[in-house]
Amino acid sequence: MSRSTFLVLTGLALTISLNGANAAPKHDKHSNEGKHGGGEDVQVDLRGPTIDIGQVRITLGNNRELIGPTQALPPGIRKNLARGKPLPPGIAKRFDSRLQGQLPHYDGYEWQQVGTDVVLVAIATGIIYEVLQNVLD
């Protein structure tokens, strides 16, 4: 076998083994039982943050002067305002920065005003994470 063929085959073997090592781990609840040490899988919670709704309501109530005028959404649009759905374009308003700074902060999410509702939206995707209905009545 020539040296160049050997190098190509060695490179190919390394590439295949590295791709296998970088593949997403399987998440079997029982696969790590009894194992201890540095080889355990890292788990990420994809459910999102735990929302302190009471604190949001208190902050909004104490800062009414920083909230623009509100008007209820039409029923058809309101029906599409639900957790897990994309935020309909053009209906949300950002809060005043003074108010935004007082609301509970969750990395990767932003509070927005939609009519008389307040929504927590994933910044990267525009997916609604939480809807607080009629809190701005």
- For the segment 101-112, the average pLDDT, to the nearest whole number, is 95
Q: Quick check: 13 pLDDT over 60?
A: no
According to DSSP, residue 27 is labeled -
Is 131 within 8 Å of 119 (Cβ atoms)? yes
Considering the chain, what percentage of its residues have pLDDT values greater than 70?
66
Is 115 within 8 Å of 72 (Cβ atoms)? yes
Amino acid letter, 37 = G
**What pLDDT, on the 0 to 100 scale, is given for residue 87?**
93
Structure tokens at 64: 């009414």
What is the per-residue pLDDT across 33-82, written as a single tens digit (0 to 9) for each? 444 455 556 544 457 788 889 999 999 999 999 998 888 888 888 888 99
Tell me the pTM. 0.64
**What pLDDT, on the 0 to 100 scale, is given for residue 62?**
94
- For the segment 85-112, the average pLDDT, to the nearest whole number, is 93
* 94: Cβ contacts below 8 Å, ≥ 6 apart: 100, 110, 112, 113
- Going from N- to C-terminal start, the domains of the chain cover 53-132
Fold of 53-132: Nuclear Transport Factor 2; Chain: A, (3.10.450)
Phi/psi of residue 78, nearest 5 degrees: -60, -35
